[in-house]
C-alpha cells in the first residue's frame, strides 16, 4: 500500500504512478493528518511511504503522524522522498522512525522534482528545467517499481555526520523563525471556495467574512497557494514576482513526453 502526503502535487503524482505500476492501493494521508486519525492502516503488501522533503527532512507533522499511527499487516516499509535537489537527512530519520516501530526498513530513494517552494531565495525554474526533472523522475520511478516488485531493497545515498549535526539543531530554529504565515493573503480574486482551508495539513486556515485567515501554525507547505483555483493567494510580493507551483500545471510536459516515447517505440 502506498501512503503519501503531497501539498502541490509532486508527491501525489509519484505515489499514484508507483501504485499503478505495482497494482497497489494508493492512500492520501491528508484527511487522516488533519483529523489526527491514528486508527489502524492495514496492508498485506509492504508499505510504501512517499513524502516531500521540507528543510532537509520529511514534514514534521508527517513524521509525528507516522510515529503514532498503527500500521498492521506487512512489517516491511519502503520510503521515497521527493525534493528539489537535496533530500538532507530525510532517509536517515525515516529509517530510525520505522525501526522504532519494529518495521523492516526496505530502503530509501530520493527523487528530484520541480521546486514548489517559490518563496525561498532560489530563482524560478524554467519550463525546460521542470520538464527535465519530471522526465528523469519518471525513469527513476520505473527502477524503483522494479526493485519493489522483486522484493529488493532501495539504495539510499550515504548521509554524512556533518549533515546530521547541521540539520538536527537547525531545523526547529528555521521552522520557528522563518515559517510564519503572516505574509499570506487572498486578493480580490478569492471566491471563498474554502479549498485552502481543506488542503492545509495543519488546519491553520479558516474562512472568515468570506476570506481565508491564517493562524500561527504554518509549515509553508504551499498547499494553499498552489491549490487556489483562482490564483488569489499571495505571499507578500514574492509570489507575484516568482509565480506559484502546482504539478497539474506541468503534467502535460510528461504526457507529451510519454506520447513521444510511445511514437518512437511504434516507429521502431
Residues of this chain that bind ligand FMN (CB under 6 A): 6-11, 52-56, 82-86, 88, 113, 115-117, 220-222, 247
Closest CB to ligand FMN among 13 and 47? 13
Shorter beta-carbon distance to ligand FMN: residue 76 or 109: 109
Report in angstroms how near the CB of residue 225 gets to ligand FMN at its nearest. Answer: 10
Q: Residue 9 and residue 82: Cα distance in Å, rounded?
A: 11
The CA R_g of the chain, rounded to the nearest whole Å, is: 19
The SS3 of residue 266 is helix
Q: Tell me how far, at minimum, the Cβ of 204 lies from ligand FMN, in Å.
A: 13
Q: What's the rounded Cα separation, in Å, for the pair 206 and 197?
A: 6
In the bound state with ligand FMN, the residue whose beta carbon lies nearer, of 54 and 78, is 54
CB of 207 to ligand FMN, least distance (A): 22
Q: Minimum CB separation from ligand FMN for residue 44, in Å? A: 27
Q: Which residue matches cell numbers 480574486?
A: 189
Nearer Cβ to ligand FMN, position 103 or 112? 112
Nearer to ligand FMN, 6 or 43 (CB): 6
Residue 108 CB contacts under 8 Å (≥ 6 apart), including other chains: 78, 79, 80, 81, 90, 91, 94, 95, 154, 156
Cell 504565515 sits at which residue?
Answer: 181
**Residue ranges in the chain assigned as alpha helix (H):** 10-22, 30-35, 60-68, 90-100, 127-149, 161-178, 195-199, 223-227, 238-242, 251-266
Amino acid at each position: 500500500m502506498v501512503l503519501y502526503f503531497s501539498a502541490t502535487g509532486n508527491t501525489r503524482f509519484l505515489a499514484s504512478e508507483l501504485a499503478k505500476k505495482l497494482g497497489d492501493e494508493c492512500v492520501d494521508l491528508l484527511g487522516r493528518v488533519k483529523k489526527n486519525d491514528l486508527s489502524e492502516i492495514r496492508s498485506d503488501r509492504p508499505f510504501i511511504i512517499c513524502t516531500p522533503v521540507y528543510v532537509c527532512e520529511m514534514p514534521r507533522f508527517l513524521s509525528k503522524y507516522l510515529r503514532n499511527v498503527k500500521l498492521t499487516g506487512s512489517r516491511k516499509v519502503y520510503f521515497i522522498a521527493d525534493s528539489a535537489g537535496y533530500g538532507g537527512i530525510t532517509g536517515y530519520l525515516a529509517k530510525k522512525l520505522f525501526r522504532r516501530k519494529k518495521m523492516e526498513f526496505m530502503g530509501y530513494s530520493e527523487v528530484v522534482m520541480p521546486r514548489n517552494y517559490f518563496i525561498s531565495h532560489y530563482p524560478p525554474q524554467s519550463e525546460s528545467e521542470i520538464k527535465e526533472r519530471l522526465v528523469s523522475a519518471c525513469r527513476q520511478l520505473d527502477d524503483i517499481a522494479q526493485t519493489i516488485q522483486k522484493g529488493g531493497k532501495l539504495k539510499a545515498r550515504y548521509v554524512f555526520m556533518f549533515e546530521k549535526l547541521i540539520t538536527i539543531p537547525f531545523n526547529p530554529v528555521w521552522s520557528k523563525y522563518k515559517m510564519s504565515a503572516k505574509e499570506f493573503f487572498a486578493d480580490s480574486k478569492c471566491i471563498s471556495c474554502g479549498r485552502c482551508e481543506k488542503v492545509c495539513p495543519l488546519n491553520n486556515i479558516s474562512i472568515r467574512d468570506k476570506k481565508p485567515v491564517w493562524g500561527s501554525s504554518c509549515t509553508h507547505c504551499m498547499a494553499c497557494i498552489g491549490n487556489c483555483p483562482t490564483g488569489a493567494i499571495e505571499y507578500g510580493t514574492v509570489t507575484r514576482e516568482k509565480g506559484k507551483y502546482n504539478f497539474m500545471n506541468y503534467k502535460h510536459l510528461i504526457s507529451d513526453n510519454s506520447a513521444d516515447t510511445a511514437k518512437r517505440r511504434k516507429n521502431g
